[in-house]
Amino acid sequence: MLAFILCFSAPSYGDCDITLRWDDDPPYFMVQEGKVVGIDADLVREAIGRLNCGLSFQKMPWARALRELRDGHVDMLSGAYRTPEREEYAHYSDVVGLVSPNILFIRRSDESRFELNGLRQLLESGFRLGAQIHVSYSDEYSALIQNPDYEKNIQYLSRRESLWKMLARNRVDGVVASRLTGLYEIQALGLSGTTTPSSMVVSNKPAFFVFSKASVSSEFVADFDRVLQAMLDDGTFAAIVNRYVCGTGDSWLAEAQAGMGACPLAMR
């Protein structure tokens, strides 16, 4: 009887296969030796494996990924902020481990040029902001883009790499990105000498794993959360994050760790 109870204490989804959207977004997603790896890739791979599910990766830009999630063609996204619109078609995971705040990145030569008191004040001053299509950076940002008076100062592109290059060429004045991602990418593009995170935190809210209501049940999401919490409790979550944020010797990590705490990073 005890064996029977233990057998059914952990859910099993032996016939399921979850499709996770990914794109080049280090340290959350990247390709190494032909394999998709990174913080989010490895966390989901471990969690889905513990549920005895299959996992496949589908590469696509964010705006398309939201449509595919809504229609049930993609099962899962990572790094999604909670918005009322997305809650109409997506289940949100409730477990949060790592929060990397959204920071405004600017040119080093402009550090004393702008008063960084908030997005509204910046856009009212004529500041030109570079942003990704359909990305929600904060509640304030989501409200501002509904007003044409502010939206006219925002340059939208689908890929963040192009925004970094526009910032370097003085075609926009700032780009918002996760602190970890921004520091990683500007070094990879050779822009660390000219581009820097500003003192302005656009949002410190957590981002979540989300699942399509069209293809994934709420029961599965609840089981995923139980597994993810177990990974936090047993140290697996921290080990995966620290694998990509600590101890690699990359110079961008010094700035990242200065803003987020010493390695190994403590999980929430």
Between CA 18 and CA 54 the distance in angstroms is 6
Domain of 234: which CATH number?
3.40.190.10
180 lies in the same domain as 249: no
For the ranges 6-10, 178-182, 212-216, the one whose mean pLDDT is highest: 212-216
| Residue whose pair of structure tokens reads 């100062």 in the numeric block | 153
Residue 74: strand, helix, or coil: coil
- Cα-atom radius of gyration of the chain, to the nearest Å? 19
Residue 266 forms part of a structural domain: no
Residue 210 forms part of a structural domain: yes
164 lies in the same domain as 237: no
pLDDT in the model for residue 9: 45
CA proximity to 70, closest of 15, 13, 134: 134
Residue 5 forms part of a structural domain: no
| Residue whose pair of structure tokens reads 């890739």 in the numeric block | 41
193-202 CB burial, b ≥16 within 10 A, e <16:
eebbbbebeb
**What's the rounded mean pLDDT across residues 49-54?**
97
Residues in Cβ contact with 226 at an 8 Å cutoff, skipping those fewer than 6 apart: none
Residue 128 forms part of a structural domain: yes
199 lies in the same domain as 211: no
166 lies in the same domain as 221: no
Of 157, 183, 203, the residue at which a domain comes to its end is 203
DSSP string computed for 86-143: HHTTEEEP--------EEEEEEGGGTTTS--S-HHHHHHTT--EEEETT----HHHHH
Residue 6 forms part of a structural domain: no
Q: Give percent of the chain above pLDDT 70.
A: 86
Helix (H) or strand (E) segment spanning residue 41 = helix 39-50
Between CA 240 and CA 158 the distance in angstroms is 28
Between CA 54 and CA 197 the distance in angstroms is 38
Range of the domain at 123: 102-203
191 lies in the same domain as 167: yes
At 245, is the pLDDT very low, low, confident or very high (cuts 50, 70, 90)?
A: confident
72 lies in the same domain as 53: yes
Count of beta carbons in the 10 Å neighbourhood of residue 143: 12
Number of domains in the chain: 2
Of 158, 173, 203, the residue at which a domain comes to its end is 203
94 lies in the same domain as 164: no
Q: Which of residues 12 and 192 earns the better pLDDT score? A: 192
At 96, is the pLDDT very low, low, confident or very high (cuts 50, 70, 90)?
A: confident
Would you say residue 267 has pLDDT above 70?
Answer: no
**What's the rounded mean pLDDT across residues 178-198?**
91
One-letter amino acid at 146 equals: Q
Residue 247 forms part of a structural domain: yes
124 lies in the same domain as 68: no
95 lies in the same domain as 106: no
Question: Residue 103: is it exposed, middle or buried by C-beta count within 10 angstroms (0-12/13-18/19+)?
Answer: buried
113 lies in the same domain as 197: yes
Q: Which residues pair with 208 in a beta bridge?
A: 80
57 lies in the same domain as 183: no
Residue 110 forms part of a structural domain: yes
Residues in Cβ contact with 163 at an 8 Å cutoff, skipping those fewer than 6 apart: 130, 131, 132, 155, 157, 172, 175
Of 156, 183, 203, the residue at which a domain comes to its end is 203
Q: Long-range contacts of range 83-90, CB-CB < 8 Å, 24 or more positions apart?
A: 83/136, 83/142, 86/210, 89/212, 89/213, 89/214, 90/210, 90/211, 90/212, 90/213
Residue 267 forms part of a structural domain: no
Would you say residue 155 has pLDDT above 80?
Answer: yes
pLDDT digits (tens, 9 = 90+) for 217-243: 999 999 999 999 999 999 999 999 888
181 lies in the same domain as 241: no
Min mean pLDDT across 25-29, 74-78, 242-246 is at 242-246
pLDDT digits (tens, 9 = 90+) for 17-35: 999 999 998 889 999 999 9
